[in-house]
């Protein structure tokens, strides 16, 4: 067989089952695009490489499978960086394939040359610089395996242009083997000890995070919780992993969690930290986090154990494997007193909702949309609207709430929504955006228009970098600096300019009917929702404070 490096690359991607690639062509990856010309893989032309990588993330976050993005050398590669770093912090499997200048020019400061390998070392799970065509046969399947195995993450493959163009003689493609990785059995001694902790605890709480949806561990978490009546608090990344109507559900903990959630965690005598990494947005001042609790930490990534907080017992492993063995050791327990305390605390310290007549309160808008959106997948940008959505949008299933949790990347929402809609064409995708965030990747409206996907963008427009404004108000003596936008772009008109239907809700009427009409019409649309400029996210845990030192939301 005789093929070019580019043809080999694309064939290997086909063999991996890749159906869609998001990217932008350029000088350094043109041979790859020439190979794509002959392939059945669908290419989505983004308008900025960061958009391409977030589209890939949208696919990966909804499906759990590694998705692919392409960029050329130099600026193409540097434009990917933010989205790669984002994937690293939220453990999203992604394979980014970049073109590089021809091998002989590497290191000469050639046109559009940048050290992609060096730049991506700290923000990838691993990265490869391909030095021969032969390596492609191992590197490409290995990149997918590695992006998805254990704790997932992004992998970069940098391929010099000459290797893409050169012809190569070979016997045939290697067969894709399902490698069953050896998994060490969970230490029975630790399991028994963990069970003892749980069985003797009076006030246990499950603190679950992004590891649960990644492992699809929600079913076993529910079993454990119900068998022993253990309440469940989730992080931002864990939303959707526990039934909302279960009385044991405590909602999201941390910086913008409900009062009862943070107070009940303070009461806990045992914290079951499963698939979490003790992020400061979840724990607040970590020294003050769950002061009365013994801690059992289970995570697939050994390095997370003891990284932030010393724990009493830890198990490194796949949460499903651990829970399968652990649950039989757990005694059924009604925990009457604890369950009653939870019920009471929820009533005494509820999450306070605005008056329903305050139609344009962001929380009311989000709730209203959620009642019309059926089984929609939700994405958010980053800021106040993100926290409001996390607080009140009823996320019913894992992998249906896509948000930039770890890196907090403004501009995530729109391209991620495009990716989600590509992966799940039968479902509506709602993107809650802010007027600040949306502008950071607004060019992807063009990509959305190309594809005509059923994505509805709801712009919570307060004319500010809202979370910055809120923090300046609360923690910087109301010194408002660089948080107010001087001009108020007409987002509906901008959408129309991209050939997408654009609407602006008028503040003086109940928006319910209009919203319903827009949401039920198939295809992309942008809805600009003017909200109160000075609305704040409450409760809020001030920086450096413990989670129980919340401000507001009473």
Strand-by-strand arrangement of the 501-504 sheet:
401-402, 377-380, 429-434, 455-461, 525-530, 501-504
Closest contact distance (angstroms) between CB of 293 and another protein is 22
Nearer to another protein, 133 or 442 (CB): 133
Contact characters 285-304, another protein, x per CB under 8 A: ----------------xxx-
Q: Tokens at residue 443, please?
A: 């060019």
Tell me which long-range contacts 140-143 makes (C-beta under 8 A, separation of at least 24). Answer: 140/9, 140/12, 140/13, 140/16, 141/12, 141/15, 141/16, 141/174, 141/176, 143/95
Nearer to another protein, 125 or 456 (CB): 125
CA angle 468, 469, 471 (to 5 degrees): 65
Nearer to another protein, 307 or 517 (CB): 307
Q: Does 309 bind another protein (CB under 8 A)?
A: no
Burial class (CB in 10 A: 0-12, 13-18, 19+), 301: middle
- Interface region with another protein, contact rule CB under 8 A, candidates 80-88, 116-124, 221-229, 540-548: 116-124
Nearer to another protein, 130 or 237 (CB): 130
**Of residues 137-156, those binding another protein (CB under 8 A):** 146
Task: Give the contacts of 353 (CB within 8 A, at least 6 positions apart).
Answer: 363, 364, 367, 392
Closest contact distance (angstroms) between CB of 128 and another protein is 9
Nearer to another protein, 120 or 384 (CB): 120
Nearer to another protein, 130 or 326 (CB): 130
Q: Closest Cα to residue 69, out of 53, 58, 57, 54?
A: 53
Judged by CB under 8 A, which of 117, 260, 289, 503 binds another protein?
117
Nearer to another protein, 119 or 445 (CB): 119
Give the number of other Cβ atoms within 10 Å of residue 177's Cβ.
Answer: 8
Q: Does 118 bind another protein (CB under 8 A)?
A: yes
Q: Please state, in angstroms and rounded to a whole number, the distance separating the CA atoms of residues 333 and 33.
A: 60
User: How many amino acids of this chain bind another protein (CB under 8 A)?
Assistant: 14
Judged by CB under 8 A, which of 33, 129, 274, 491 binds another protein?
129
**Of residues 451-480, those binding another protein (CB under 8 A):** none
Nearer to another protein, 144 or 242 (CB): 144
Closest contact distance (angstroms) between CB of 139 and another protein is 11
Closest contact distance (angstroms) between CB of 151 and another protein is 9
Q: Does 166 bind another protein (CB under 8 A)?
A: no
Burial class (CB in 10 A: 0-12, 13-18, 19+), 479: exposed
Closest contact distance (angstroms) between CB of 215 and another protein is 18
The secondary structure of residue 352, as a DSSP letter, is: P
Closest contact distance (angstroms) between CB of 480 and another protein is 33
CA dihedral (422, 424, 430, 433) positive or negative: negative
Closest contact distance (angstroms) between CB of 412 and another protein is 23
- Interface region with another protein, contact rule CB under 8 A, candidates 79-87, 119-127, 384-392, 529-537: 119-127
Q: Does 306 bind another protein (CB under 8 A)?
A: yes
Q: Please state, in angstroms and rounded to a whole number, the distance separating the CA atoms of residues 440 and 54.
A: 12
Judged by CB under 8 A, which of 192, 307, 356, 522 binds another protein?
307
Nearer to another protein, 38 or 131 (CB): 131
Nearer to another protein, 121 or 167 (CB): 121
Q: Tokens at residue 9, please?
A: 């690359």
**Of residues 248-287, those binding another protein (CB under 8 A):** none
Q: Does 539 sit behind a cis peptide bond, omega within 30 degrees of 0 on the bond before it?
A: yes
Helices (H), 439-539: 444-451, 466-475, 491-497, 512-520
Nearer to another protein, 17 or 306 (CB): 306
CA dihedral (127, 131, 132, 133) positive or negative: positive
Closest contact distance (angstroms) between CB of 125 and another protein is 8
Contact characters 329-368, another protein, x per CB under 8 A: ----------------------------------------
The residue length of the chain stands at 554
Closest contact distance (angstroms) between CB of 307 and another protein is 6
DSSP per-residue codes, 371-394: HHSTT-EEEE-SSHHHHHHHHHS-
Q: Please state, in angstroms and rounded to a whole number, the distance separating the CA atoms of residues 20 and 127.
A: 21
Question: Strand 94-100 and strand 501-504: pairing?
Answer: unpaired
Q: Does 126 bind another protein (CB under 8 A)?
A: yes
Nearer to another protein, 183 or 482 (CB): 183
DSSP per-residue codes, 57-116: HHHHHHHSS-EEEEE-STHHHHHHHHHHHHHHHTT--EEEEEEE--GGGTTTT-TT---H
Contact characters 69-108, another protein, x per CB under 8 A: ----------------------------------------
Nearer to another protein, 160 or 502 (CB): 160
Q: Which residue has the tokens 């399968």?
A: 324
382 in Cβ contact with 439 (< 8 Å) = no
Closest contact distance (angstroms) between CB of 507 and another protein is 47
Nearer to another protein, 117 or 388 (CB): 117
**Whole-number Cα distances in Å, 83 to 69, 78, 155:** 11, 10, 12
Closest contact distance (angstroms) between CB of 132 and another protein is 12
Phi, psi for residue 173 in degrees, rounded to 5:
-80, 140
Closest contact distance (angstroms) between CB of 126 and another protein is 4
Contacts with another protein, residue ranges (CB under 8 A): 117-118, 121-122, 125-126, 129, 146, 301-303, 305-307
């Amino acid at each position: 067989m005789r093929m070019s490096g580019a043809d080999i690359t694309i064939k290997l991607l086909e063999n991996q089952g890749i159906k869609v690639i998001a990217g932008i062509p350029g000088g350094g990856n043109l041979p790859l695009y020439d190979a794509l010309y002959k392939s059945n893989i669908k290419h989505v032309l983004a308008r900025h490489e960061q958009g391409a990588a977030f589209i890939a993330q949208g696919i990966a976050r909804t499906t759990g499978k590694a998705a692919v993005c392409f960029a050329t050398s130099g600026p193409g590669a540097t434009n990917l960086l933010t989205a790669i770093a984002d994937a690293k912090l939220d453990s999203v499997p992604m394979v980014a394939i970049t073109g590089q200048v021809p091998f002989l020019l590497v290191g000469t400061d050639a046109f559009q040359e940048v050290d992609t390998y060096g730049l991506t070392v700290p923000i990838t799970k691993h990265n490869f610089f391909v030095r021969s065509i032969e390596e492609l046969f191992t590197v490409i399947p290995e990149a997918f395996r590695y992006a998805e195995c254990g704790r997932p993450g992004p992998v970069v493959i940098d391929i010099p242009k000459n290797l893409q163009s050169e012809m190569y003689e070979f016997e045939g493609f290697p067969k894709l083997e399902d490698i069953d990785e050896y998994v060490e059995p969970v230490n029975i001694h630790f399991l028994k000890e963990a069970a003892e902790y749980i069985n003797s605890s009076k006030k246990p709480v499950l603190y679950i995070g992004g590891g649960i949806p990644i492992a699809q561990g929600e079913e076993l978490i529910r079993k454990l919780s119900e068998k022993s009546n253990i309440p469940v608090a989730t992080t931002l990344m864990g939303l959707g992993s526990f039934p909302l109507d279960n009385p044991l559900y405590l909602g999201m903990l941390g910086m913008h969690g409900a009062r009862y959630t943070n107070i009940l965690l303070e009461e806990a005598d045992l914290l079951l930290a499963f698939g979490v990494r003790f992020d400061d947005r979840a724990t607040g001042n970590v020294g003050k986090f769950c002061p009365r609790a013994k801690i059992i930490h289970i995570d697939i990534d050994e390095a997370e154990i003891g990284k932030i907080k010393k724990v009493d017992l830890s198990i490194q492993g796949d949460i499903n494997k651990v829970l399968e063995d652990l649950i039989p050791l757990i005694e059924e327990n009604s925990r009457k007193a604890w369950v009653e305390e939870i019920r009471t605390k929820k009533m005494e310290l509820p999450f306070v909702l605005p008056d329903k007549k305050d139609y344009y309160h962001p929380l009311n808008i989000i709730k209203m949309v959620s009642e019309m959106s059926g089984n929609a997948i939700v994405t958010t940008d980053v800021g106040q609207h993100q926290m409001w959505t996390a607080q009140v949008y009823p996320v019913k299933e894992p992998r249906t709430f896509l948000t930039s949790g770890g890196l907090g990347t403004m501009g995530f929402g729109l391209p991620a929504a495009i990716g989600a809609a590509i992966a799940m064409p039968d479902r509506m995708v709602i993107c809650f955006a802010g007027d600040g965030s949306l502008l950071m990747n607004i060019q992807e409206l063009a990509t959305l228009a190309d594809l005509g996907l059923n994505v509805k963008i709801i712009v919570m427009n307060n004319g500010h970098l809202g979370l910055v404004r809120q923090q300046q108000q609360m923690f910087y003596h109301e010194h408002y600096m660089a948080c107010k936008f001087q001009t108020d772009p007409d987002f509906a008109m901008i959408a129309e300019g991209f050939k997408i239907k654009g609407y602006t809700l008028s503040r003086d009427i109940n928006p319910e009917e209009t919203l319903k009409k827009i949401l039920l019409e198939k295809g992309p649309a942008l809805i600009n929702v003017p909200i109160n400029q000075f609305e704040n996210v409450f409760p809020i845990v001030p920086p450096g404070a413990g989670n129980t030192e919340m401000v507001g939301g009473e």
